[in-house]
Amino acid sequence: MRDLEIRGAGNLLGQAQSGHMEAVGYDLYCKMLNEAVLRLKGELKDEDEFDTTLDLDINAFIPSTYVYNEYQKLELYKRISSIESKDEMEDMTDELIDRFGEMPKAVYNLLYVAYLKSLAHHAYMTDVKQKGEKVSFEMKPDAAVDVEKIPVVLEEYKRELSFQAGKNPTFVLDLSKTKKVKQLEKIEHCVNLLNSLIIR
């Protein structure tokens, strides 16, 4: 992959593959290619391939007043959607500030949401949804959850976190006592904590 990044996808893979890269964006294409390589090597399991949806009650978008060019905006959306770590989120933050100036809150939220979605996927969550002051974290049905640790996790959040057993085990976080500006951080902390339940 490092060789691909240095030499360029078009030169290394040929014209057809270069066209695919242009369609999805360079960063996302590199990650898709990396996943394909891992799959061929047997390092990417079928159970790791699932979708994670995230729906939070916040404004998360790129305003036209911040990025005027629609092509640039589309390219940024593609790149932001491929964020997989906090380091990548911070790198993108620095780049956007360098290119376009201080970010509006909605853009910061967009980066944070992309990072949270990746975090939730790594924790084997299929759906993270906010309704009012409650956020539900629905786990993948066959996620290897260490059930003995669940009481410990619930105890850390006292009565703010509850657990609903069933076909799709679900944790529900109560944000009613959390200030609006701190809610994303609280959700991030909760996802990280729930990730510790996964047996790997």
| CA–CA gap between residue 166 and residue 148 (Å, rounded) | 16
pLDDT for the residue numbered 149: 94
* Chain mean pLDDT for the chain: 82
Lowest mean pLDDT among 7-11, 22-26, 29-33, 143-147: 7-11
Q: List the chain domain ranges.
A: 1-44, 45-195
Q: Which one has a higher pLDDT value, 177 or 13? A: 177
**CATH T-level assignment (fold) for domain 45-195:** Aspartate Aminotransferase, domain 1 (3.90.1150)
- For the cut 80, the answer to whether the pLDDT of residue 12 exceeds it is no
CB atoms within 10 A of CB 70: 9
Q: Which one has a higher pLDDT value, 2 or 55? A: 55
Q: What is the pTM of this model?
A: 0.77
| CA–CA gap between residue 150 and residue 140 (Å, rounded) | 16
| CA–CA gap between residue 109 and residue 66 (Å, rounded) | 14
What's the mean pLDDT in 22-34?
A: 54
Question: What 8-state DSSP symbol labels residue 178?
Answer: S
